[in-house]
Structure 1
Amino acid sequence: MLLPDVGLVIDEPYISQILAGDKTWEMRGSRTGKREVIGLIKKSTKHVFGTAELYACEGPLSYEQLLVATDKHGISREKVEAGLLDKWNYAWKLNNVVEFETPIPYNHPNGAVTWVKLSNHAQQANKPNNSSPKAQQIVTDKTLSKQQPVNSFQTGTMAEKTDVPVAKDGTVFSSELARNGFFTVGEKGDEQKFRSFEDALHYLRNMNKAKWRRPNDKGNWGIVSAMEWR
């Protein structure tokens, strides 16, 4: 069988609930535009445990909507009342769930916490995995090229323009964008912080559209989206 192009990292107990058919909404802190079959990755295992069709996204859901949908998102009424879903109020809706008899290993790239790109190679998912570690590796992950320091986030004065995202206003993601020692990247509401510029850049490469925080010409920090890569 063919693995999907991407996999979604899901923590326990939620991934087991999805695979068992007890949970059809994966709750997240932001909207997703993906509408496709995805791999279901159990967090911290580096294995794909199954697939599902991500067919819709709804949100942000109100407190009342979350209370009456416990059978869909798998969070108890008590936990909803305690505020567990206050910041995780977008329902990523799943159906056609398939659980693999034997989970499939993959090479997890540094910094990938939500989406992981999976190579689209044929795999015998329902056979015991007796192949060598080299043969089992089903994700092709390009090694990050060594990034040269960028002297400015303004494109006109960049020292290097190699493989970094560029926003509509001409600003780029550079090694000078650390704030309090961290680079902040990702969707609003699901932002990730990295101390390493290379790890943050790697995360941006795995996003559907790279987004990061940077200061504008007035010094105010905000999120921008990549229009191109240079």
Structure 2
Amino acid sequence: MARQIESEAVKIPAKGLIVREPWVSALVDGRKKWELRGSKTAHRGSTAFIAAGSGLVLGEAILVDVVGPLDRDSLSGSKNLHLVDLDWETIALPYRATFAWVFENAVRYHRPIPYIHPRGAVIWVDLSKTAREVLADAGSGKTSVITAKASFLAKSGIR
């Protein structure tokens, strides 16, 4: 199981990965080690997990490797890592080429941290230094989410 840390102590990673439920919860809880994707990524290191459509960062882990492309046998034999319980022998593969993004050392934040979702972001969100400072303030309870968002928008010049 993943450790849980207080939001006040969090230094949010610069990159956030958008993941749908129930997979994002399984990742931050450390039950899911592989996130299946249709491409490789060059990114390695600390990665924040964003619950799709929520405006919240739930936790983080370290992206240590990318494995693939995976075939049916590999997907079938690694259900304990990706948690997708399908009949991989008969079902269509999820992507033309399927890759496993491998995560370790998952952490769930004690309290989810709000962030500003940029228009058009579907896989990655750049949680820039300014945004991370504002997020840390919002997560610590020092300011409200609305105040944090307004502060971020003012600092970044977004209207």
TM-score, normalized by length of structure 1?
0.55
Alignment of 1:140-179 (within 5 A): 143=158
State the AA in 1 paired with 2:110: E
Aligned to 1:58: 67
Q: Deviations over 1:24-79 (max 9, x none)?
A: 00000001010110110000001100011011001111111111000001101436
Cα distance in 1 between the residues matched to 2:69 and 2:54: 30
Q: Residue 119 of structure 1 contacts residue 138 of structure 1 at CA under 8 Å; is this kept in 2?
A: no
Q: Secondary structure at 2:70's aligned position in 1?
A: coil
Greater Rg by CA? 1
Q: Percent identity between the aligned chains? A: 32
- Residue segments in structure 1 that go unaligned for 5+ positions in a row: 145-230
Higher relative contact order (CA 8 A, sep 6+): 2
TM-score, normalized by length of structure 2?
0.78
Q: Deviations over 1:166-207 (max 9, x none)?
A: xxxxxxxxxxxxxxxxxxxxxxxxxxxxxxxxxxxxxxxxxx
RMSD: 2.6
Cα distance in 1 between the residues matched to 2:152 and 2:82: 30
Q: Secondary structure at 1:60's aligned position in 2?
A: strand
Cα distance in 2 between the residues matched to 1:105 and 1:126: 7
Aligned to 2:143: 131
Cα distance in 1 between the residues matched to 2:122 and 2:89: 24
Alignment of 1:82-121 (within 5 A): 82-87=91-96, 89-120=98-129, 121=132
**Number of residue pairs matched by the alignment:** 143
Aligned to 1:170: none
The alpha-carbon deviation at position 16 of structure 1 amounts to 1.3
Q: Residue 49 of structure 2 contacts residue 59 of structure 2 at CA under 8 Å; is this kept in 1?
A: yes
- Residue segments in structure 2 that go unaligned for 5+ positions in a row: 1-9
The alpha-carbon deviation at position 134 of structure 1 amounts to 2.1
Cα distance in 2 between the residues matched to 1:70 and 1:142: 45
Q: Secondary structure at 1:58's aligned position in 2?
A: strand
Higher relative helix content? 2
Cα distance in 1 between the residues matched to 2:21 and 2:90: 21
Residues 124, 93 of structure 1: alpha-carbon distance in 2 compared, 3 angstrom cutoff: farther
Q: Residue 113 of structure 2 contacts residue 139 of structure 2 at CA under 8 Å; is this kept in 1?
A: no
Alignment of 1:74-85 (within 5 A): 74-78=83-87, 81-85=90-94
